[in-house]
């Protein structure tokens, strides 16, 4: 452990808030997607594109957010990106056309990209090994609350005040996040302006990409967490249009995903001392891959219902909660001097996977077929990537 500038508790609370920016901005938004098709007199593909653009902005901007936080400090970088997020939220809320809505979601994604990157970097700046994993697990427990409440809040806001209210909720969340960073977050790194030079950025990413431990850890998270992001582009249309839920019912129904992620995080905290890191990680991957296989089978063999869709999702979510802390710690461990860039690369792969999954879903056109094909491939792919990580770790040892 390095010298800690914040306590474990404060680091966990701030880390959870920052990590939640991205998922909350999706969770609040998803119940509004079918209504936005009517509001803008457009197609479902165009509204799906709004989520894909959010993923794209989120993914690509992380590659800049990491080095910027290394160069100018975690606090300054976070505040700057949160201002971008607020601007995107206002553009979307006031959008008179679908084109401006798409632009607002892209800007939102760019601003929100700092959350995952900096939350992981501040943990790595101060803590290592089991301590870092314990904090990341606690972040996971607290993180489940925001996305769990997000669809419910979005569905209620949609029913009461229309789709613009969904984006005004995001404005409020952005203001709250900026206030917490400004007044409660300590700087955890020594800024080095030279790290923002293009040659230094490229050198850092070359170092990380050349290390298979970092790359395979990122691919594991890309398969697991990317699947959660990708399925958010499909589930509203499957559950609302195919199963027949109302937006408010969809919002409440998504508590099954977030609730099982929360339960998995709590279970990991209780079982980690007896299971150990390796067994916990492998158990989580087995559940995620098993849930993915059940998704593929249920879509093809059972008439879609809430339980046939969401029960396998719940199994995946429970397992993913076991995976995130340990594989994230493993990916950040090898290169502490460029922790921001490492967190950015891992986050980029994670979000890019979600973006590509969403694009693939739009190409398949039928959301149910897309859900039953793309999500299982991603979950099983995470398990295969872990085998590559094990091989790379043995070789490095």
CA angle 332, 232, 40 (to 5 degrees): 130
> Is residue 2 assigned to a domain?
no
> Is residue 259 assigned to a domain?
yes
pLDDT higher than threshold 50 for residue 82: yes
Mean pLDDT for 185-211 is: 88
> Is residue 347 assigned to a domain?
yes
The token pair at 219 is 């691919």
> Is residue 79 assigned to a domain?
yes
Q: Which domain holds residue 327?
A: 8-184+196-396
pLDDT higher than threshold 50 for residue 89: yes
Count CA atoms within 13 Å of residue 298 on its CB side: 20
Q: What percent of the chain has pLDDT over 90?
A: 37
For residue 272, the SS3 value is helix
Which is more confidently placed, 59 or 379?
A: 379
The token pair at 109 is 């994604």
Residue in the structure block whose two tokens are 């606690």: 138
Query: What does each C-alpha distance from 93 to 3, 35, 247, 335, 385 come to in angstroms?
Result: 43, 14, 19, 40, 39
Instruction: Give pLDDT, residue 304.
Output: 93
Q: Which of 44-48, 72-76, 86-90, 307-311 has the lowest mean pLDDT?
A: 44-48
> Where residue 61 sits, what CATH number does that domain have?
1.20.1250.20
Q: What percent of the chain has pLDDT over 70?
A: 95
Distance CA 238, CA 304 (A): 8
pLDDT higher than threshold 50 for residue 189: yes
> Is residue 3 assigned to a domain?
no
Mean pLDDT for 2-22 is: 82
> Is residue 18 assigned to a domain?
yes
pLDDT one-digit tens code per residue, 312-336: 999 999 999 899 888 988 888 888 7
- The residue among 187, 62, 190 whose CA lies nearest residue 114 is 62
Which is more confidently placed, 103 or 352?
A: 103
> Is residue 134 assigned to a domain?
yes
pLDDT band per the 50, 70, 90 thresholds, residue 261: confident
> pTM for the complete prediction?
0.76
pLDDT one-digit tens code per residue, 221-249: 999 988 987 887 788 889 988 998 887 78
Contact 313, 295 (CB under 8 A): yes
Report the domain count for the chain: 1
> Is residue 191 assigned to a domain?
no
pLDDT higher than threshold 50 for residue 1: no
State the angle between helix axes of 163-184 and 8-27 in degrees (0 to 180), rounded to the nearest 10.
Answer: 160
State the angle between helix axes of 114-126 and 129-143 in degrees (0 to 180), rounded to the nearest 10.
Answer: 150
């Amino acid at each position: 452990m390095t010298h800690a500038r914040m306590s474990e508790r404060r680091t966990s609370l701030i880390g959870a808030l920052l990590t939640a920016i991205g998922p909350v901005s999706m969770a609040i938004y998803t119940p509004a997607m079918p209504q936005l098709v009517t509001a803008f007199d457009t197609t479902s593909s165009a509204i799906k594109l709004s989520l894909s653009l959010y993923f794209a902005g989120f993914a690509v901007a992380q590659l800049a957010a990491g080095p910027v936080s290394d160069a100018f400090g975690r606090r300054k970088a976070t505040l700057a990106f949160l201002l971008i997020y607020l601007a995107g939220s206002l553009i979307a809320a006031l959008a008179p056309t679908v084109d401006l809505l798409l632009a607002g979601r892209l800007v939102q994604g760019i601003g929100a990209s700092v959350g995952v990157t900096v939350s992981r970097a501040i943990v790595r700046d101060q803590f290592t090994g089991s301590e870092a994993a314990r904090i990341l697990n606690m972040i996971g427990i607290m993180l489940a609350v925001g996305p769990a409440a997000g669809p419910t809040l979005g569905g209620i806001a949609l029913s009461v005040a229309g789709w613009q209210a969904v984006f005004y909720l995001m404005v409020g969340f952005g203001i709250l996040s900026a206030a917490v960073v400004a007044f409660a977050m300590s700087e955890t790194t020594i800024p080095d302006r030279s790290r923002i030079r293009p040659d230094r950025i490229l050198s850092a990413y070359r170092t990380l990409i050349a290390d298979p431990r970092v790359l395979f850890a990122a691919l594991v998270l890309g398969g697991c967490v990317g699947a959660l992001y990708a399925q958010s582009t499909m589930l509203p249309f499957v559950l609302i249009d195919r199963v027949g839920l109302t937006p408010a019912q969809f919002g409440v129904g998504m508590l099954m995903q977030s609730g099982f992620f929360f339960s998995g995080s709590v279970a990991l905290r209780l079982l980690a001392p007896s299971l150990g890191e390796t067994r916990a990680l492998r158990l989580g991957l087995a559940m995620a891959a098993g849930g993915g296989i059940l998704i593929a089978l249920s879509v093809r063999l059972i008439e879609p219902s809430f339980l046939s869709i969401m029960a396998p999702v719940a199994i995946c979510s429970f397992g993913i909660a076991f995976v995130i802390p340990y594989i994230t710690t493993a990916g950040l461990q090898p290169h502490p001097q460029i922790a921001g860039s490492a967190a950015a690369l891992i986050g980029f792969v994670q979000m890019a996977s979600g973006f590509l999954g969403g694009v693939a879903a739009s190409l398949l056109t039928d959301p149910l077929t897309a859900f039953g094909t793309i999500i299982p491939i991603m979950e099983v792919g995470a398990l295969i990537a872990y085998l590559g990580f094990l091989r790379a770790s043995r070789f490095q040892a």
